[in-house]
Chain A
């Protein structure tokens, strides 16, 4: 997306030149397909390696936690919401940030594309006019509609435009309504399962987990100096690949994200074995919306519902 890339570079250079910020956080082109790298530029020369396209799926809010500099940061809808969560939770000051807002057109799912390829993907091309993605490698080349290979969270996203920004790189994109996107279809499917089927479903979901914690570490919400799974005194969770310990990790982590998760998908994108850990967080997101009318990161004033108490909080669901 050349127009976005050019505009990002232009803004970043201006911010550095006018000494408005100490660094600008964006993405530089990855050394392998589908993988752009979070990167910070402190000079105009470094800004030249910035890039923008459908492979910028890591959440940059992850990189501003507790930083002291004045930071320019590129932010999509979901990334801007995570920045808002960070501001609410005191992990960064709003006035330290210059947010370069990106009206987002969604990120492609690297796991889906890898599964489709008949070999290793050597290159990925995006045709903006036709809306297609072409992957190719030794002996194969395949074009698909981008819509078909969007990350699942992007295909159901209802906040593509940044909610918080200082400047936009392009006009806002049209948002889909919640009715059109039907973001909780998958959650409803799981909710409708019998307890045995649910058990089998989650057992299967986590069966490949190698407990590397990439999902946790890629998530901007997981900034605790020491995660409960790493504590050794007391030790809450065993450290082997015992299935009970793996489930405990995932369930507890999901609860720690309740009312804070923006469904950015960075957790799933970073999982080396492609586990859809959003199955946990999406359910909690749905509950927060239905029970408290709450969506994470839409403003910088209000704390998430599980973080506060109000006498008039709804409670009819507490049995």
Chain B
């Protein structure tokens, strides 16, 4: 695999060259925190960022997305006939995405791209995007990617992986998409023989800087019903502080649930899909008024059982979490998925106890 060297001033000038062909998206410091944003002409991504509050999943899967529209003007031929709006899927590049966030797209793909069902919006947006990742040399205290199937130097789902090496980046160009972007930017300087070794060494340093982890080895062999029924041992106590705000699901790169709404503005009708959350009572409210997940204990259990058990059983490919740590940092009442994962993993149905350890 080819490693190229990108001097940091070449990085900046290369981005300017990309603008004619790509919409550039990168981390930008807002009022207090960083967020992924479309970069205006001349604006550079802040590659020294630590983490964004909201994950970049919105680039492929926006929080509110127009999927159909229709005319409500009686004189129009297509009155009340829903049609797909004209949408442009111009090439985009996400710059400086963290490896865990990039990895999340492969987890989410299992939902949006299946044998029976292919989500056209997600797939088109995904296909038009190039992922330029930045390896994490300074993981946060809440990062547990290494034990969640990803890692600070993971190149899963990336087109290019950058490693910061002082005045330059060492870049692994991983795919055709990545090659195309690198050549459009004019980045072609070969990095030399020692580059692979340098990256490997940085990788090991980064991995050993990860302080936090989850145990997942026994999740698959636990009985689903035992875990579901562990109300006293796990769910009631852990759900007590939950306020069902949905922050955890909104900031999470791997949460994928949505709701479809019709709205009217002037003489037009719009069908919009919005992120939804299993933490909201409305999520499962039936038209009859019955709600099968009527309490917050039910809803909290759903979130964690989905990520840590149903997903594990269904796809046999690990947990539905990349260890980005956002929900751990941002839950306003300190519900910690690491703690709950370790509880589920160690639950003993005989004694109804867990080895509780919050890492």
Contact = CB atoms under 8 A, between A and B. Distances in A.
A137 B138 CA distance: 11
Interface in A202-221: 208, 210, 212-214, 216-218
B246 A208 contact: no
A315 interface: no
B263 A238 contact: yes
Interface stretch (A6-14, A33-41, A164-172, A278-286): A33-41
B246 A38 contact: no
Nearest to A111: B32
Interface string A245-287: 0000000000000000000000001111110000000000000
Q: Is the interface of A mostly helix, strand, loop or mixed?
A: loop
Interface string B281-311: 1100000000000000000000000000000
A212 B333 CA distance: 14
Interface in A114-146: 114-115, 119-122, 137-139
Given A31-B339, A39-B241, A218 B64 contact: no
B353 interface: no
Given A214-B243, A241-B63, A115 B32 contact: yes
B33 interface: yes
Contacts of A58: 241, 332-333
A273 B33 contact: yes
Given A31-B338, A58-B333, A269-B332, A137 B141 contact: yes
A39 B263 contact: no
A122 to B, nearest CB: 4
B21 interface: no
Interface string A57-85: 01000110000000000000000000000
B53 interface: yes
A208 B31 contact: yes
B140 interface: yes
A31 B274 contact: no
Contacts of B54: 210, 272-273
A135 B138 CA distance: 17
Given A210-B63, A240-B272, A242-B64, A32 B243 contact: no
Interface residues of B, number: 47
A139 B32 CA distance: 20
Contacts of B332: 35, 58, 214, 218, 269-272
Interface of B: 30-33, 35, 50-51, 53-54, 63-64, 138, 140-142, 209, 237, 240-241, 243-247, 250-251, 259, 261, 263, 272, 274, 277, 280-282, 328-336, 338-339, 358
Given A214-B245, A218-B333, 15 more contacts: A32-B141, A32-B328, A35-B331, A114-B33, A115-B32, A120-B51, A120-B142, A138-B138, A210-B54, A210-B251, A230-B280, A238-B263, A239-B261, A240-B64, A241-B274
22 contacts: A31-B336, A32-B141, A32-B142, A40-B240, A58-B241, A115-B32, A139-B138, A210-B63, A214-B245, A214-B332, A217-B245, A240-B64, A240-B261, A240-B263, A241-B63, A269-B332, A270-B247, A272-B54, A272-B332, A273-B53, A274-B31, A274-B32
6 tightest CB-CB pairs across the interface, nearest first?
Answer: A270-B332, A240-B64, A214-B245, A37-B334, A217-B243, A38-B241
Interface of A: 30-32, 35-40, 58, 62-63, 111, 114-115, 119-122, 137-139, 208, 210, 212-214, 216-218, 226, 230, 232, 238-242, 269-274
